[in-house]
Chains A and B, each alone.
Chain A
Amino acid sequence: MPAPRDVLISWALPVLLVVAWEIAARLGWITSRILPAPSAVALAFWVNLQNGELLHHTWISTRRALYGLAIGGGIGFVLGVINGALPVAEKLTDSSLQMLRNVPHLAIIPLVILWFGIDESAKIFLVAIGVLFPIYLNTFHGIRMVDRGLIEMGKVYGLTPVELYWRIVLPGALPSILVGLRYALGIMWLTLIVAETISAQAGIGYMTMNAREFLQTDVVLLGIIVYALLGKLADMVTRWLERRALAWHPSFQPQGAAAAA
């Protein structure tokens, strides 16, 4: 834990900025159309929370994000495992996947709209494509990097292929897979923001685009803040997951544990 004084120092600048912004808005130096006062954003937050709009849109967005992550991440993970374990499969699919990976997934939005319209499936498809590659690459890489000596040891001690996979290959690849997951979560929110901004009937993106039509800059700002918070929350969840799943890893062990040896 950082010392209270350090916390105070690191928060000083943001707090000062918000205060200055509030004063500038109150004095009319910044028009509320450009940048409403922090208090106005807070009020917008309260109003939208009260009438249920905020939770409704946040829920819709989160659901899309998670569907996309589950589908794209699942496919990426399975491909990574298969290609990491079977050289034949790698030869067959890896170069094609590398080629597809180099297409910026947001560039295919026009195509996606032609295929799926402006439906839910279009947004989920985009998120899925976006998260597939980081998960695939890191799973593949992680499985490849598992110490061959450990696998040989497992064979010598009579582990079956299924046991080898669950007890040696997967745990060995897990640190890399989790890095892929964190990276994928970033892409997940980014893709969703773009997809929702283009066309949607609900979701945070819809909420902000709708507010833009009515010049409700405070609600637009609120949407941006909600996106930031959702991204931060996703990151915190993966960090927690890392600490739980990688408790054995020297870099996740409490200080002094190594010194006790």
Chain B
Amino acid sequence: MNWATLYAGQRDMELEGAPGTAWPQAGKAVPTRGRSVAIRLDGVAKSFGERAVLDDLSLTIEAGQFVAVVGRSGCGKTTLLRMIAGLEGVSTGQVTVDDQPVVGLRSDVRLLFQEPRLLPWHRVLSNVGIARGSGWQAHAQAALEDVGLGDRAQDWPAVLSGGQRQRVALARALVSRPKALLMDEPFGALDALTRSEMHQLLLRVRVEYGFTAILITHDVREALALADRILVLKEGGVARDIPIDVPLDLRRASPALQRLERTILTEV
């Protein structure tokens, strides 16, 4: 079984627009920005000892696409993400990022974890600029401004709220201008209001930075609110591959998406 499902429609990156603006239709040319990378999996399988987590998985994520991966816990979502990030090797098959096989960590692919994972003994600015490099303070400060925390640079992480900490973690991922951002349920622990704020922020920085995004989530509504394409993972393979063509600002009220939400929920 080959799940190679080439996504034909690549959406323009400009998300802002008056309500009702016609959304670019499927089949439109991929905008080449040079800031995002395509990610491909060819016949990837992964097993831990006897237990097979992913089985003969093939898929292509085009540059600039925002893909949400939903599925039950234990369906291999996190493993998939860790393999793309280079934190985990494949058992068989191949993962390529930007047509290069993934053999280890890459500096243009950044990971947002479930927890913020900030160093409590470094101030916010120093956490954001953890990778250092020349002129890191200025880059880190700019990334903090982008997530709306420019004035908290000299605070300790301990005094920030949960949402603010996750925003610092996002800034840390953005500093190096990544070409792909991999997110492992980064908003799962936040309250509904903060989560919705984080969604807006994520959509905004995505326009600015233009990275390819993969979001692991168990929240179907979150996937529907953010992604261009939803992959439903089940029993180690892609059970459904659904393009979402509804403009972002119309999604909340879209009956088609509400129907889709129910369909996905029954399938997962």
Q: Which residues of A contact B (CB under 8 A)?
A: 147, 149-150, 152-159, 167-168, 171-172, 174, 246-250, 253, 257-258, 260-261
Say whether B158 contacts A157, CB under 8 Å.
Answer: no
9 closest residue pairs by CB, A with B: A153-B117, A171-B121, A248-B121, A261-B159, A250-B158, A157-B131, A248-B156, A157-B130, A149-B117
Residues of chain A within 8 A of B121, CB atoms compared? 171-172, 174, 246, 248-249
Say whether A168 contacts B105, CB under 8 Å.
Answer: no
Say whether B87 contacts A156, CB under 8 Å.
Answer: yes
> Of B110, B130, B158, B164, which one neighbours A248 at CB under 8 angstroms?
B158
Residues of chain B within 8 A of A258, CB atoms compared? 158-159
Q: Which residues of B contact A (CB under 8 A)?
A: 85, 87, 105, 107, 110-111, 113, 115, 117, 119-123, 130-131, 155-161, 164, 172
> Of B111, B130, B160, which one neighbours A159 at CB under 8 angstroms?
B130
Residues of chain B within 8 A of A172, CB atoms compared? 121
Say whether B120 contacts A248, CB under 8 Å.
Answer: yes
Say whether B159 contacts A253, CB under 8 Å.
Answer: yes
> Within the assembled complex, what's the spacing in Å between the Cα atoms of A155 and B119?
13
Residues of chain B within 8 A of A261, CB atoms compared? 155, 159-161, 164
> Within the assembled complex, what's the spacing in Å between the Cα atoms of A36 and B51?
79
> Of B87, B119, B158, which one neighbours A171 at CB under 8 angstroms?
B119
Say whether A149 contacts B115, CB under 8 Å.
Answer: yes
Known: A156-B111, A248-B123, A261-B159. 15 other contacts (CB 8 A): A149-B113, A149-B117, A155-B105, A156-B105, A156-B110, A157-B130, A159-B131, A171-B119, A171-B121, A248-B120, A248-B156, A250-B158, A253-B156, A253-B159, A261-B161
B175 to chain A, nearest CB (A): 9
Residues of chain B within 8 A of A257, CB atoms compared? 156, 159
Q: What are 5 A-B interface contacts by the 8 Å CB criterion?
A: A152-B87, A157-B130, A167-B130, A248-B123, A249-B121
B79 to chain A, nearest CB (A): 15
> Of B130, B158, B164, which one neighbours A249 at CB under 8 angstroms?
B158
Closest A residue to B182 by beta carbon equals A156
Given contacts A157-B130, A253-B156, contact A150 B119 (CB under 8 A): yes
Say whether A253 contacts B107, CB under 8 Å.
Answer: no
> Within the assembled complex, what's the spacing in Å between the Cα atoms of A149 and B118?
10
Say whether B120 contacts A249, CB under 8 Å.
Answer: yes
Say whether A156 contacts B85, CB under 8 Å.
Answer: yes
Residues of chain A within 8 A of B160, CB atoms compared? 261
B171 to chain A, nearest CB (A): 13
Say whether A260 contacts B159, CB under 8 Å.
Answer: yes
Residues of chain A within 8 A of B111, CB atoms compared? 156
Residues of chain A within 8 A of B164, CB atoms compared? 261
Say whether A158 contacts B107, CB under 8 Å.
Answer: yes
Residues of chain B within 8 A of A168, CB atoms compared? 119
> Within the assembled complex, what's the spacing in Å between the Cα atoms of A171 and B118?
13
> Within the assembled complex, what's the spacing in Å between the Cα atoms of A244 and B119?
17
B181 to chain A, nearest CB (A): 12
A207 to chain B, nearest CB (A): 43
> Within the assembled complex, what's the spacing in Å between the Cα atoms of A250 and B159?
8
